[in-house]
Structure 1
């Protein structure tokens, strides 16, 4: 079989095909802007059965890299972590309706040297630091310090202000071809230092919820490390076990 990405030949064909499709997404050959080739075309290209192609595609749909759209084929799924950190801070509008995407105020963008934890996670000290404040209904909720490797995001610090929306993950993909596949959060608690308290409009020393997030690309390489801080008085955690 021709065209497969370099992989272990002992693996089943559908797994090797899935890895090949993943590589195409990583290289930007497949994007959310257009459907991927039909199953019949892919089966012909790789000289495999349509069933093998479908199994490979099904795997990527389950992983969240592809999505099937009724009437428009199968496409790369655009990064969508719209307000995931806000599951810990369930603030609603005054009429009780849920909020959508929180607003974002960029305070700082600069090329700098990563602190130890960020360097350890990202594997480099050459990073771009982003500092921003997230608000819901003009009320500060999260203060974020974000680090991304300069090698993957060169020029982020000079992007026009108008191109910076409230969501970073779609921006990473649109401008740098870096797709966030998953993110891992670790929650801890402490007291608000003065600089964070000032941004969140809470008294210094107030209880603080701290969420450390590492985001990974589709090859499971860490591409972002952030610390998000919010008032622990508003923090909520809910887990359903079936």
Structure 2
């Protein structure tokens, strides 16, 4: 088998060891969504395994959402696909009834701080970068967000030029810091608006709020972001399908 699998568990079958090795390469940023990964035949040669073993490993990573096959182009690292997931709780539409585009984002703060207790516990560190931003749909403020990311993973984030930022943070995490968000958990609760949040959301103090706490994890299942997003409860919707 050679040494190509690195530090993977030798008790695992070859496809599982290869899957873990490919995952590590993705985590290290050796492959990006812009270029296809090496062909199955090339990987089979590089790791001295059969093409069937490679296909089984790649199939597993496709199933986990780390890779995607593009017809006629090859297999690629799957870019983060959390474009506007928080906005599923606040379904707003244009005046003609059509869906709104990706929400706009206004960055209000980026600073190295000591994390409060809740994000420190979620991230396993209180050495963080704090981000405050407003999210709007058609110039209507919808979400006020406080976001915390560990300084150890995002050193220099607070000094990036404003031109580096688009409406989405997860692609930027990957492109600038090699951090690929694989999954996130959302916890929904309700509260009343403080004066500060009410002013930002253009609602009245003590108006009802929907509050969404999110923890995002990388492909090694390590927490890389904690955020709390607040929006008016008057526009809140929640849907769950039980099968």
TM class by shorter chain equals over 0.9
The aligned runs of 1:55-204 (5 Å cut-off) are: 55-204=56-205
* TM-score, length basis structure 2: 0.98
Separation in 2, partners of 1:35, 1:7: 24
Do 1:112 and 1:126's aligned partners in 2 also have CA atoms closer than 8 Å? Answer: yes
Do 1:83 and 1:100's aligned partners in 2 also have CA atoms closer than 8 Å? Answer: no
After superposition, give the CA deviation of every residue in 1:38-89 in whole Å (9 maximum; x if it has no partner). 1111111111111111111011111111010111100111112110000000
Instruction: Out of 182-191 and 9-18, give the one that drifted further.
Output: 9-18
Instruction: Out of 5-14 and 110-119, give the one that drifted further.
Output: 5-14
- Unaligned runs of 5+ residues in structure 1 are none
Separation in 2, partners of 1:229, 1:126: 24
Q: Classify the secondary structure of the residue corresponding to 1:220.
A: coil
**1:235 is aligned to 2:229:** no
Do 1:5 and 1:19's aligned partners in 2 also have CA atoms closer than 8 Å? Answer: no
Q: Classify the secondary structure of the residue corresponding to 2:153.
A: helix
After superposition, give the CA deviation of every residue in 1:82-128 in whole Å (9 maximum; x if it has no partner). 10000000001111010121000001111111000111111111110
* TM-score, length basis structure 1: 0.98
- Matched residue pairs, number? 242
Separation in 2, partners of 1:123, 1:238: 31
Cα RMSD (Å) of the superposition? 0.8
Do 1:5 and 1:16's aligned partners in 2 also have CA atoms closer than 8 Å? Answer: no
Separation in 2, partners of 1:214, 1:240: 22
Aligned to 1:217: 218
Separation in 1, partners of 2:6, 2:132: 38
CA deviation after TM superposition for structure 1 residue 185, in Å: 0.4
Separation in 2, partners of 1:70, 1:168: 28
Do 1:5 and 1:23's aligned partners in 2 also have CA atoms closer than 8 Å? Answer: no
Separation in 1, partners of 2:15, 2:230: 43
CA deviation after TM superposition for structure 1 residue 220, in Å: 0.5
Separation in 1, partners of 2:149, 2:22: 26
CA deviation after TM superposition for structure 1 residue 7, in Å: 2.2
4+ residue runs of structure 1 moved beyond 3 angstroms?
none
CA deviation after TM superposition for structure 1 residue 10, in Å: 1.5
Do 1:190 and 1:208's aligned partners in 2 also have CA atoms closer than 8 Å? Answer: yes
CA deviation after TM superposition for structure 1 residue 241, in Å: 2.3
